[in-house]
Copies of this chain bind each other. A is one copy, B any other.
């Protein structure tokens, strides 16, 4: 028969017969954070290139939902999973996948007992701290979302502590702000306190953007009065004023790699192993939100010449 005729193989029949769906499930906390949206685009591209479809779901950082979604995806008989979980250690969803011996790869999470594609957040933040210190900053605050909701926040905080220690500075200051709401006010009041920091290290770019606003609301100029550094490298950070200084992670690429690894595993009928985990290189983007520490100690009590 002429195959020039528009013949399209029936995916369901194939799946039924081979018990392989050529679909990978993708679980992310949210798409509202451009980091994940960008990564998902990468995933979609790579999956498509490999002849796979994707089934994406979002969990809003809710571990219960994670489990529910994974169950749902299993029902849809996906061939493998790409996940960003809240906490690999305690994740019920991951345990479920391990029990079922389903291939999966974690994105952004980093954990010795799971196959992960991630950046080295800890080192990156430590480097940023060193950079800030060399610019004369002595009072740093880390601004973070809820630690419990994300192992990345934890790692980044660890990096912060590490950086401080290397610089032989003490009194780590952590500002943990609630999720979406009122972050700005919290930061503003922190910045109005007596011994405010000269630099904010933010655990992600979305938070950093809010800090940019908070600083200005507090009457501080960025970067003259206070430096602000983000983490993630979302494209939007390029258009803020001042342009956000941040650590850029290859979001797109992370998606690509995750898919490639997972697909390869699926086709070879083996599980991705933790030992093959990939660390992606981060990159510092100078931006404009970060500068020399103000000459005077950043307080009203003792103005002081250079």
A residues near B (Cβ < 8 Å) are: 8-13, 15-16, 21, 30-32, 34, 37-38, 40-41, 44, 48, 53-58, 72, 74-77, 180, 184, 206, 209-210, 212-213, 216-217, 235-236, 239-241, 243
Contact = CB atoms under 8 A, between A and B. Distances in A.
A31 to B, nearest CB: 4
User: How many copies of the shown chain assemble into the complex?
Assistant: 2
Contact of A11 (B34, B44, B76, B184): B76
30 contacts: A8-B74, A10-B16, A10-B77, A11-B12, A11-B75, A12-B13, A12-B77, A16-B16, A31-B31, A31-B38, A32-B37, A32-B38, A32-B41, A32-B235, A34-B34, A41-B58, A44-B57, A48-B57, A48-B72, A53-B76, A54-B55, A184-B239, A206-B239, A209-B236, A209-B240, A210-B239, A213-B243, A216-B241, A240-B240, A241-B241
Given A44-B57, A210-B239, A31 B21 contact: no
A298 B15 CA distance: 66
Given A34-B32, A75-B8, A213 B239 contact: yes
Given A34-B34, A241-B241, 5 more contacts: A9-B75, A56-B56, A213-B239, A213-B240, A217-B241
Contacts of A41: 30-32, 58
B16 A13 contact: yes
Interchain residue pairs A-B with the least CB separation, the first 10: A12-B15, A31-B37, A12-B16, A213-B241, A216-B241, A12-B12, A37-B37, A210-B239, A8-B75, A209-B239
Contacts of A55: 53-55
